[in-house]
Structure 1
Amino acid sequence: MTKIAVLGAGSWGTALANTMAKNENQVMIWSHKEAQAQEINAQHENPHYLPGARLDNALQATNNMEEAVQGASIVLIVVPTKAIRTVSKQLAETLAKSKQRVILAHAAKGLEQKTHLRISQMIAEEIPDQFYSGLAVISGPSHAEDVVKGDLTAISIGSNDESAAKALQGALANEHFRPYTNSDLIGSELGGALKNIIAIGSGMLIGKGYGANAQAALLTRGLVEIRRVGRALGAKPETFLGLAGIGDLIVTGMSPNSRNYRAGVSLASGKPLAQVEEEMGMVIEGVNTIKAVVDFEKKYGLDLPITRALYQVIYEGKSIDEGIEELMTRPLKAED
């Protein structure tokens, strides 16, 4: 039996913790809210994030990070990008106090706003490498709402450390949940972050009344832009043709379970961004990630017309209709 700590009791953290608990691992999920931890322990539910979902009886929760991490061989961080540094600092202090060395993983999908760093880079800056033997990322097409119901799911675990990836793979795998491994940490993280931008655009198209043709065109050409950014930042191009790339893009860009997709639909209805974010009640990672990618476009001399158009709509007041028209009437070219 593997002892695992999951830091973050949102929808995705809870779904992953529940999956590993069902696999007869000893799993404790950490929440910064005492009431939420008590609710999971007493009622075996997390109604705010996963309403109606029954959690495994063996899954335990706490608001004490030391209690969650004590004796764990794997620590999985699943919090929004903006909370990564705070949680990582607290984890570093906890590991130093207990003198533990763990396998470290995360399942966040974003980039830091000011530095544009990937999640693993942020974690590595906050947690000395003496406290972990490997660093991995969970990515791929996986809505928490479906995973917790036992829907068939395949994901990818990216890591430069094969043993870390395989340890996490073993903890997650069952007849409903199939994890693959890959050696491209950079590509896995970028695929998970950048697809959120394209998903917002996909939601906008549907919200404006366009159909499957438009949606398929956007997702396909959006993947081209994701690969361009990936190449510039050192990712392996083939990663974006797998679960961490096109797989995650499809599910995020086409499902109402995706908060980025839903945000796009809401923006298309005329709601201002602040109202959309307030109504969502959860972080819309693509809204912040788009700022970083526009900076990448300038820094590396990339051509990212879809991303640029979405930035102009969200932050510069351009209408969605105008953005669509400009994209469709650009100079003609060969497909790349």
Structure 2
Amino acid sequence: MTVLLARAGLRATLVARSFAQAAELKEKRENSRYLPGVALPQGVRVAALEGGWQEALARSDLVFLAVPSRAVGEVARALAGSEVPGHAGVVSLVKGLVPPDGTPPTTLLAEHFGRDRIACVGGPAHAREMVEAGAGLVCAAWSASLAHSVAAVFQAAGVVCEVSADPAGVELAGVAKNAAAVAVGATREQGLNAAGMAAADIFREVLALAERRGADARTFVGRAGTGDLVATALAPSSRNRTAGELLARGVPASEIPQQVGQAVEALDTVRLLARAIEREGLDAPVTSALARLIEGTLPLDRWVALVRAQQPPPASFRRPRSWLLRLRYLARRMRGVRRERPARYTR
């Protein structure tokens, strides 16, 4: 992300978690552990969260948060107590839920900074490919001007970015993608059909939660949802899918991050997601079963059997239209249908 910001012509400061990480980034000018071979532009400054970052924030117009979801609360409190300018936008890159209640990151950030200063970014964003060949992202915000400002930064860096007025939908679509990717990995050895069924069921269950919270269902079939899922399912190095595969081999969830070599947020997020859906009084048998599989309380064979046996809600069929309604419909088609805007903001 820092590379893209610098490429867009912004003066960017990368804040590392520790002095040791900051020193290594300054010396090597690349993240040799997670993104080797991608150089930090010379104009990028490096600071540490342990100290020295407040000065950079005092001059910021945009603050991008690329932190684990469990750290969002701590970072938000630190930012709120710093000298971040009152006009600065805070952009969440987090694809997870904040413990202990499964709070969406933008909801928590809005409590500290107000809704009009908060945005989130979703969509397929494989890091190396995004830097080398671009990507197709979506920026969602309650403020139209902030959404367009963030999108313009990505566009200037050579990355296509849509705007959306649906932060809840973009965040929960990303969460659904992560959960579905774990489910795909856990059922992959049982066949592609089982993997597809598991992913579809989880998407449907999370969509019900998203709609309960005011999200737009169309967000889930856009880049933030199905677009991100396809990219994750095809990526050879997908952490979430790999985590599901390791679960299927009997590896405990607590040991998976060590084997993967990175944190796998979906393992925590699925459990938070299942509890959030349950609190809303919604039915989510597949997501709940995946949470139990991660916790080690549900055997793999029972998880697969549940996925294969799960029946979707009964279909509802509309009554046939009368001849008058059909005539009106055809008349509208002949006049042309007004094209809907991709994002709607109300004053």
Shared fold by TM > 0.5? yes
The letter for the 2-side match of 1:293 is L
Unaligned segments of structure 2, at least 5 residues? 317-347
Query: Quick check: 1:101–1:133 contact (8 Å CA) kept in 2?
Result: no
| 2:145 corresponds to | 163
Deviations along 1:114-154, one digit per CA (max 9) or x if unpaired, are 222110122233x344xx85210011111213223x12310
**SS across alignment from 2:182:** helix
Q: CA–CA distance in 2 between the matches of 1:60 and 1:110?
A: 28
Query: Quick check: 1:194–1:289 contact (8 Å CA) kept in 2?
Result: no
**SS across alignment from 1:257:** coil
Query: Quick check: 1:140–1:154 contact (8 Å CA) kept in 2?
Result: yes
Aligned CA distance change for structure 1 residues 91 and 194 (closer, same or farther; 3 Å): same
Give the Å deviation of 1:100.
Answer: 4.4
Work out whether 1:277 is the aligned partner of 2:265. no
Q: Please, which moves more after superposition, 278-287 or 238-247?
A: 278-287
The letter for the 2-side match of 1:305 is P
Q: Alignment partner for residue 56 of structure 2, among 47, 53, 68?
A: 68
CA RMSD of aligned residues (A): 2.2
Query: Quick check: 2:140–2:170 contact (8 Å CA) kept in 1?
Result: yes
Give the Å deviation of 1:331.
Answer: 5.2
Give the Å deviation of 1:216.
Answer: 3.0
| 1:101 corresponds to | 87
Give the Å deviation of 1:214.
Answer: 3.2
Q: CA–CA distance in 2 between the matches of 1:332 and 1:292?
A: 23
Give the Å deviation of 1:229.
Answer: 1.5
Matches within 5 A, 1:1-336: 16-63=1-48, 64-95=52-83, 100-125=86-111, 127-129=112-114, 134-148=117-131, 150-174=132-156, 176-206=158-188, 209-330=189-310, 334=314
Query: Quick check: 2:252–2:296 contact (8 Å CA) kept in 1?
Result: no
Give the Å deviation of 1:310.
Answer: 0.7
Q: CA–CA distance in 2 between the matches of 1:136 and 1:332?
A: 34
Query: Quick check: 2:14–2:45 contact (8 Å CA) kept in 1?
Result: yes
Give the Å deviation of 1:333.
Answer: 5.9
| 1:8 corresponds to | none
Give the Å deviation of 1:174.
Answer: 4.3
| Number of equivalences | 313
Query: Quick check: 2:101–2:276 contact (8 Å CA) kept in 1?
Result: no
**SS across alignment from 1:111:** coil
Q: Please, which moves more after superposition, 174-183 or 101-110?
A: 174-183
Deviations along 1:235-276, one digit per CA (max 9) or x if unpaired, are 111111111121122223442332111111111122111111
The letter for the 2-side match of 1:108 is V
Give the Å deviation of 1:316.
Answer: 4.5
The letter for the 1-side match of 2:304 is I
When normalised by structure 1's length, the TM-score is 0.86
Q: CA–CA distance in 2 between the matches of 1:238 and 1:319?
A: 35
Q: CA–CA distance in 2 between the matches of 1:140 and 1:22?
A: 20
Q: CA–CA distance in 1 between the matches of 2:133 and 2:258?
A: 29
Query: Quick check: 2:109–2:118 contact (8 Å CA) kept in 1?
Result: no
| 2:328 corresponds to | none
Query: Quick check: 1:296–1:302 contact (8 Å CA) kept in 2?
Result: no
Q: CA–CA distance in 2 between the matches of 1:32 and 1:292?
A: 25
